Amino acid sequence: MTLMKERKADHIEICISKDVEPGYYYWDDIKLMHEALPELNADDIDLSTTVLGKKLSFPFIVTAITGGFKDAKRINANIAEACAELGVGMGVGSQRAAIENIDKKSYSVIKDHDVPLVIGNVGAPQLVEQKKKKAFTEDMIGSAMDLIDADVMAIHLNFLQEMVQPEGDTNACGCLGAIRGLAKRYPIIVKETGAGISAKTAKRLSGIGIKGIDIAGMGGTSFSMVEMHRAIRKEDAVRASIGGSFFDWGIPAPVSLMTIGTDLPVIASGGIADGLHVAYSIALGACCAGSANLILQDAMVSADAVKERLTIIREGLKTAMMLTGSKDVAALKNADRVIVGRTKEWMDGL
Ligand SMILES: Cc1cc2nc3c(=O)[nH]c(=O)nc-3n(C[C@H](O)[C@H](O)[C@H](O)COP(=O)(O)O)c2cc1C
C-alpha cells in the first residue's frame, strides 16, 4: 500500500474506532426561543433551499470524507446514493490520489447517482511546492472536477493536521495567490477541516472570487487527535505529544460562524450532530450545515443507514422550524436565539 492509501485507510479506521472529538459540544450552547403558538401546519413547512446555485431539499451537505483507496469506493457510493435520494449535497475527500493517478474509481462512483450538489476537494498545501513535491497545476484541478462532474471545487485548509502529521506538507506560502488564480477559472469554495475560519482570514478570502466558505470549526472531528493516534501507532512520541496538546485547537464552530462577517455564503460545520444543530446554524446566518464523521459511521454500514441518518436530521430540523414558528428557511434565519456556556464566554472574550 502506498503511504497515501495507508494514511487514508488509517483516518477512516481511527475515526470509526476512537474518540476523536474534544468533548465539549459548542452547538448545544445555542438555544432557540420556543414559540408556543406557531400558527403553522407542519406539513406546509418548506425546508428547501438553494446553496451555491443548486436546489437542496433541506439545507445540508455531507462534507469531504474520503476517496483514493479500496474501501473508499463503497463509502462514497453509499453516501452518494443517500444524498441523491434525500436531495442534499455531497463532497468527496481530497482528490490528490486521483490527480496522482493512484485511484480514480472511488471518486467517480458518485456519478452513478443524481446528487444535486457535488463538491470536489483538493488541499491548499498541494497548490504550492512542498519539499520535493511540485504544485498541482490549474488544469489538474479542472480534471479532478471533470472526474466527478463537480459543481464546485473545495480547497481545504488543514495546516493543523499537516503540522501534527509525521509526513506533513508544511509550506503554506503562496496558498492565497494560488486560490485566487483558481477562482478565476473555476467555481471555488474554501473550507477548513476542523479548526474554523476567523474574521481576519475570511476578509483575506473575500474579494478573490471564491463562491463560499465552509467554516469547519472546532468541536467535532479533531484532526490533531486523529494524527495523534497515527503517531502513537508509528511510535513517534514527538508528533503524538504535539497532537495531544493541540486536541482542541481552533475556533469553536458557532463562534466562527457568528464572527466571520462575510457576505459570501457560509456553510456551518464542525460537530453538527443533528437537525437541531442545523437549525441553530441557519439561525446564526449559515446557508446550510454539513457533517463528515457522523455520516461516515453510517456510510460504513450501508446506503440505507445514511438515508436514515439524513431523515433524522431533516425531521429534527423540521421540528425546530415548527417550534420557532418558521414556515421556511428564510424565516428560520430570523428566529430569536440565546447563547450560553463556553460559546458565550468565547464571544464575551473576543
Ligand atoms: C475520515 C475523515 C476524512 C476527512 N478527509 C477530508 C478531506 O480529504 N478533505 C477535506 O476537506 N476534509 C476532510 N475531512 C474533514 C471534514 O470534511 C470536516 O471538515 C471535519 O471533519 C469537521 O466535520 P465533522 O465534525 O462533522 O467531522 C475529513 C473528515 C473525516 C472524518
What are the pLDDT digits (tens) for 21-51? 999 999 999 999 999 999 999 999 999 999 9
Q: Give strand pairing partners of 121.
A: 154
Distance 139 CA to ligand 1 centre (A): 25
Q: Are strands 288-291 and 266-269 parallel, antiparallel or unpaired?
A: parallel
Any ligand 1 atom below 6 A from CB of 20: no
Q: CA–CA separation, 347 vs 255, rounded Å?
A: 7
Output the DSSP codes for 183-250: HHHS-EEEE-SSS---HHHHHHHTTTT--EEE---BTS--HHHHHHHHHHHTT-HHHHHHHHHTTT-S
Any ligand 1 atom below 6 A from CB of 94: yes
Contact yes or no for 227/299 (Cβ under 8 A): no
Residue type, 242: I
b/e per residue 307-332 (b: at least 16 CB within 10 A): bebbeebbebbbebbbbbbbbebebb
Atom of ligand 1 nearest to the CA of 216: 19
Instruction: Say whether pLDDT at 70 is over 70.
Output: yes
Contact yes or no for 289/313 (Cβ under 8 A): no
Atom of ligand 1 nearest to the CA of 93: 8
- SS3 category, 32: strand
Any ligand 1 atom below 6 A from CB of 221: yes
pTM across the whole model: 0.98
Any ligand 1 atom below 6 A from CB of 121: yes
Any ligand 1 atom below 6 A from CB of 296: yes
What is the Cα 33 distance to its own chain's centre? 27
Average pLDDT, stretch 198-206?
97
- Residues of the chain with pLDDT > 90: what percent? 97
Distance 204 CA to ligand 1 centre (A): 23
- Protein residue whose Cα sits closest to atom 12 of ligand 1: 64
Distance 280 CA to ligand 1 centre (A): 21
What are the pLDDT digits (tens) for 208-266?
999 999 999 999 999 999 999 999 999 999 999 999 999 999 999 999 999 999 999 99
230's grid cell: 497515527
Any ligand 1 atom below 6 A from CB of 93: yes
What are the pLDDT digits (tens) for 263-296?
999 999 999 999 999 999 999 999 999 999 999 9
Question: Average pLDDT of the chain?
Answer: 97
Atom of ligand 1 nearest to the CA of 192: 19
Mutate to test the pocket of ligand 1, among 16, 155, 193 (most ligand atoms within 8 A of CB): 193
Any ligand 1 atom below 6 A from CB of 160: no
Other CB atoms within a 10 A radius of the CB of residue 18 amount to 12
Q: Which of 65, 31, 51 lies closest to 254, judged by CA?
A: 31
| Residues 6+ away with beta carbon under 8 Å from 108 | 147, 148
* Backbone conformation region of residue 209, classed left if phi is above 0, alpha if psi is from -120 to 50, else beta: left
**Burial (CB count <10 Å: 0-12, 13-18, 19+), residue 37:** exposed
What are the pLDDT digits (tens) for 116-165?
999 999 999 999 999 989 999 999 999 999 999 999 999 999 999 999 99
Q: What is the pLDDT of residue 1?
A: 65
- Protein residue whose Cα sits closest to atom 3 of ligand 1: 65
Q: CA–CA separation, 151 vs 34, rounded Å?
A: 37
Q: What is the pLDDT of residue 132?
A: 87
Q: CA–CA separation, 266 vs 162, rounded Å?
A: 24
- Protein residue whose Cα sits closest to atom 5 of ligand 1: 65
Contact yes or no for 305/299 (Cβ under 8 A): yes
Radius of gyration of the chain (CA): 19
Any ligand 1 atom below 6 A from CB of 156: yes
What is the Cα 72 distance to its own chain's centre? 17
- Protein residue whose Cα sits closest to atom 11 of ligand 1: 156
Angle at 157 between CA 151 and CA 159, to 5 degrees: 160
Any ligand 1 atom below 6 A from CB of 272: yes
